[in-house]
């Protein structure tokens, strides 16, 4: 019988990605919170909780590499709990390597895997080890460019409504290829085939938020043809991802420097998706660098 009286969120992810901050945000919206619960204790904990009370209760648990045998035991425990009828949501937090290094340097904390390796090597090892857990995630959240307050707001937006499935959230990112791909992207589109405003003297110092650049990019025949097909592709993919239970989709559009073409196209995509009543987040990652 489904245990509808309990809403369970497991918070996991990379060390330094903000799990403790996320747990505090869950506490603020009425979740019963536990940090560092061993995965093997989860089934017994839920049984005890269910015996004590049948009232609707929200539980948020942090589980990660600090727990012994977490990597080996969690996938099995996850499936066992689901078979017993509990609805389990997994929130996976991650961040870019240089951001994690900075956070560890600021807090002077030791990485749970980092006794005999450099911090960079340790972070890469953890990211690799956590990949099977990441694939189980209901929500993936990159906290690289979120401060404490922004992370809290994101948690509140996703989880403050009890037992209400979140609408599909579209995270739209413009970026420059010379600064690297966004790690969190589900779909990446390269628009470097479009004419580049950078080589137009009067447009070079502008960006894709400004009308002269927008006009230059959007009035091109190739842009109109591309957007027609791009919109059709995204419109097809969104319901397919929704059927698979995905609540967030991150689309990244890149040009050379991330200042002109990618910004314009992401803004155009946002206008298109707003008509479908989706939740939209926009980040122009490299607009000040390109």
Residue 33 pLDDT: 93
Beta strands 248-255 and 32-35 are unpaired
pLDDT at 162 over 70: no
Of 114, 137, 159, which closes a domain? 159
Shared domain for 135 and 13, answered yes or no, is yes
Residue 255 pLDDT: 96
CB atoms within 10 A of CB 250: 20
Shared domain for 11 and 154, answered yes or no, is yes
Residue 2 pLDDT: 46
pLDDT tens profile 230-255? 999 999 999 888 777 677 899 999 99
Of 159, 189, 222, which closes a domain? 159
Determine the average pLDDT of the residues in 129-152: 90
The strand ranges marked E within 146-261 are 169-176, 187-190, 248-255
Of 128, 159, 190, which closes a domain? 159
Judge whether 134 lies within some domain.
Answer: yes
CATH number at residue 150: 3.40.50.300
Judge whether 290 lies within some domain.
Answer: no
Shared domain for 25 and 152, answered yes or no, is yes
Beta strands 169-176 and 87-94 are unpaired
Cα–Cα nearest to 19, from 143, 161, 160: 143
pLDDT tens profile 78-129? 999 888 888 889 999 999 999 999 888 887 777 877 667 788 889 999 999 9
Shared domain for 43 and 120, answered yes or no, is yes
pLDDT at 222 over 80: yes
* Residues of the domain holding 148: 6-159
Shared domain for 109 and 214, answered yes or no, is no
Q: What's the chain's average pLDDT?
A: 88
Q: Count how many domains the chain has.
A: 2
């Amino acid at each position: 019988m489904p245990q509808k009286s309990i809403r369970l969120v497991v918070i996991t992810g990379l060390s330094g990605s903000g799990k403790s901050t996320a747990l505090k945000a869950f506490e603020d919206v009425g979740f019963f919170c536990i940090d560092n619960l061993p995965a093997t204790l989860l089934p017994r904990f839920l049984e005890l909780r269910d015996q004590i009370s049948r009232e609707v209760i929200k539980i948020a648990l942090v589980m990660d590499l600090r727990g012994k045998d977490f990597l080996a035991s969690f996938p099995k425990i996850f499936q066992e709990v689901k078979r017993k009828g509990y609805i389990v949501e997994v929130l996976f937090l991650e961040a870019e390597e240089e951001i994690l290094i900075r956070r560890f340097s600021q807090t002077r904390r030791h990485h749970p895997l980092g006794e005999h390796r450099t911090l960079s090597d340790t972070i890469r090892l953890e990211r690799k080890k956590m990949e099977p857990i990441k694939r189980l995630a209901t929500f993936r959240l990159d906290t690289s460019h979120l401060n404490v307050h922004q992370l809290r707001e994101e948690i509140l937006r996703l989880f403050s409504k009890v037992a209400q499935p979140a609408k599909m959230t579209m995270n739209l990112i413009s970026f420059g290829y010379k600064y690297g791909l966004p790690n969190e992207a589900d779909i990446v589109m390269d628009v470097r085939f479009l004419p580049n405003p950078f080589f137009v003297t009067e447009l070079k110092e502008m960006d894709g938020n400004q009308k002269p650049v927008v006009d230059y990019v959007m009035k091109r025949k190739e842009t109109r043809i591309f957007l027609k097909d791009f919109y059709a592709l995204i419109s097809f993919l969104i319901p397919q991802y929704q059927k698979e239970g995905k609540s967030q989709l991150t689309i990244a559009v890149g040009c050379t420097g991330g200042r002109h073409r990618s910004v314009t196209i992401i803004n155009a995509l946002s206008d298109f998706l707003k008509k479908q009543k989706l939740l939209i987040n926009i980040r122009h990652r490299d607009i000040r660098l390109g």
